[in-house]
Structure 1
Amino acid sequence: MRRIIGSVFQSLDGVMQAPGGPSEDWTGGFEHGGWLWPLDDEATGEWIGELFGGAYDLLLGRKTYEIFAAYWPYVSGEEAPIADAFNRVGKYVLTRGQDLLDWENSHRLASIDAIAEIKRSDGPDLIIQGSSTLYPALLEAGLLDRLTTLTYPLVLGSGKRLFGAGTPPRSLRLVRHSVSPKGTIIAHYEPDGAVRTGSFLTIEPSEREKARQQRMKVEG
């Protein structure tokens, strides 16, 4: 059985849109494309090298696939080894449409059930890069094995977020972490079941507290 491993570049407010360049994705009028570049450093580069250092296939949403397919097949120079690897590995693309998937070794997956079937098969780990739309459904289905977030010290205010609408409540367990010289927090999480709750209250609610709670019920 394969593992599904997510890796995300995000701001402090959870925005992961267009880290690589100004023209990467300006959906919704996003104006801060390329925000990662000034904050990149050796430590984050080492993690990316570790992530892609072994055998893997890629698991992508349609829009991230389109970004990759329009870039990596045409790369040469210093990035050629990455491009060669990305061209060679399997690309599994979650899309309900009939979009052309003409990048070599690309495979269409029409549903989360299809992802589950690939996960059960023999083969290398499936790595997610970008693809914000995948995470809510993968969490809901219990298919995500590990999530690494690289959280950069900036706030973007708007844009596509890692956990957007429709994300189910889940607990995660921190299994490893580090901080880069430029302040990027690299944190590795694994699923840890349902969200657990409790209370720090040690007394019965006062009449004032009861009134506050009643107002919340009315005001919403």
Structure 2
Amino acid sequence: MRKVIAATFISLDGVMQAPGGPDEDPTGGFGHGGWVFPYSDEETGKTLFEVFEKPFDLLLGRKTYEIFAAFWPYVEGDDPIASSFNNTTKYVATHGDATLKWNRSQSLGKDVVAAINELKAGEGPDLLIQGSGDLIQTLLRHRLIDEFKLMIFPLVLGGGKKLFAGGAVPAAMKLLHTWSSPTGVIFATYQPDGPVRTGSFVGPDPSQEEIERRKRLK
């Protein structure tokens, strides 16, 4: 069975919008595009590349697909990420009928959830999501993401498209791996770990004042 892996750049307040440059996605008046760049160094780049070392196919929303298709095919030289992206299969969630011109690209069709379930049940490499915030919300809503590779940058953006937004459902997460770069970037890998577990430090015999406090909240 194939896994769906979301490999995502996020800020401390969970924003994932336009990490690569000012013109990447200014929708909604977002004015901080390119926030990843100042934190780049050799060790961060090396750890980031490890995400792409294993075989994968790309799983992309239409907007991210268009950003990638306008950039990666035109990268000159022996860039390993460009080589991987250009030569792998790209599965695209799109509602339109426009031709997907980037080589080895194919539409997921009208029923994206059914198509991804079918891909997951089949043979092949894992399905790697890059960007694609709207698609991620759909996948979160249907619990289709098996692993999160988060690259958490040490800044607060205050607004913008967030990773865990309208599609997020309550879930516990298990930390599989973590590492931090000299520039303060935290690489953390999580997998869903069942329902949210709760408890109470108050105990079975709350004070009368606590009981009255609870009544006021109802």
- What TM-score bracket applies, with the shorter chain setting the length? over 0.9
Asked whether the equivalents of residues 171 and 195 of structure 2 are also in contact (C-alpha less than 8 Å), the reply is yes
Kindly state the Cα deviation for residue 131 of structure 1 after the two structures are TM-superposed: 1.3
Give the match for residue 148 of structure 1.
149
Instruction: List alignment gaps of at least 5 residues for structure 1.
Output: none
Cross-structure match for 1:189:
190
1:112-162 deviations in Å (ceiling 9; x for gaps): 111110111111111111112233332343322211111111100011111
Helix, strand or coil for the counterpart of 1:128? strand
**Is 1:138 matched up with 2:139?**
yes
The alpha carbon displacement at 1:39 in A equals 0.7
8 Å CA contact 1:135, 1:167 repeated in 2: no
For the 8 Å contact 1:14–1:162, the answer to whether it is kept is: yes
TM-score normalized with structure 1 length: 0.91
Greater mean deviation of Cα atoms: 26-35 or 66-75: 66-75
**What's the counterpart of residue 113 of structure 1?**
114
Aligned partner of 1:97 in structure 2 is 96
1:39 aligned residue: 39
Shift of 1:16: 0.8
Deviation string 1:37-56 (CA, Å, 9 cap, x unpaired) is 00112232122221111211
Residue number in structure 1 paired with 2:56: 56
| Post-superposition offset of 1:203 | 5.1
| Aligned residue number for residue 83 of structure 1 | 82
The whole-number CA distance in structure 1 between the counterparts of 2:67 and 2:93 is 14
Counting only pairs closer than 5 Å after superposition, residues 6-25 of structure 1 correspond to structure 2 as: 6-25=6-25
- The residue type equivalent to 1:26 in the other structure is P
Letter in 2 for 1:96: H
Kindly report structure 1 stretches of 4+ aligned residues shifted beyond 4 Å.
none
Q: How many residues align?
A: 216
RMSD across aligned positions (CA): 1.6
Aligned counterparts of 2:176 and 2:43: Cα–Cα separation in 1: 18
Q: Do 2:140 and 2:167's aligned partners in 1 also have CA atoms closer than 8 Å?
A: no
Aligned residue for 2:144, secondary structure, equals: coil
Which ranges of structure 2 fall in alignment gaps of 5 or more residues?
A: none
Residues 62-121 of structure 1 deviation map (CA, whole Å, 9 limit, x = unaligned):
111111111111221353x42232121100112233343221111111311111101111
- Cα 1:210–1:123 change in 2 (3 A) is same
- Local SS of the residue matching 1:77: coil
Q: Shift of the alpha carbon at 1:10?
A: 0.7
